[in-house]
Amino acid sequence: MNPKTAIKIMLGLLVCVILFHLSIILKITPYEITWGGRLKNDTEMYIFEAISLLISLLLFLVLLIKGEYVKDFISTKVVNTILWIFIILFGLNTIGNIVAETILEKSFAVLTLASVILILIILNKGKKRAHSNSNVLKT
């Protein structure tokens, strides 16, 4: 899979995740079935969901930059570092989802694991492309 395809898939997944978090904030989806059932009131839900939305929007923006859909205003090194941080977060989240109590949260393990794999493809393919371009310049 090429990195552009992986970026497009990740952007699509993120749109779904953002819509899911918005459905919780709008109380379409009950927050009791999320966050391991640990949220006790609306205030906690709004805080957790606002943080989740901000994190999702950050990843969305970073992927837009990586895919060259928007002008890069941060360096490639910073973009790649942020993506590595997301790999770690999604890896830990996958483990958390696997041991979750609800089937809904367990099913999100597939999404977070897929995200890890897609971001690895985005990072590794980009690295190979940059390496092959530098070899062309040397010849």
Specify the pLDDT at position 106: 87
Alpha-carbon gap, residue 25 to 35, rounded angstroms? 13
Specify the pLDDT at position 127: 56
The DSSP call for residue 71 is -
pLDDT per residue over 27-55, tens digit each? Answer: 999 988 888 778 899 999 999 999 999 99
Alpha-carbon gap, residue 133 to 126, rounded angstroms? 11
pTM exceeding 0.85: no
Alpha-carbon gap, residue 61 to 82, rounded angstroms? 11
The segments of the chain whose pLDDT lies below 70 read: 125-139
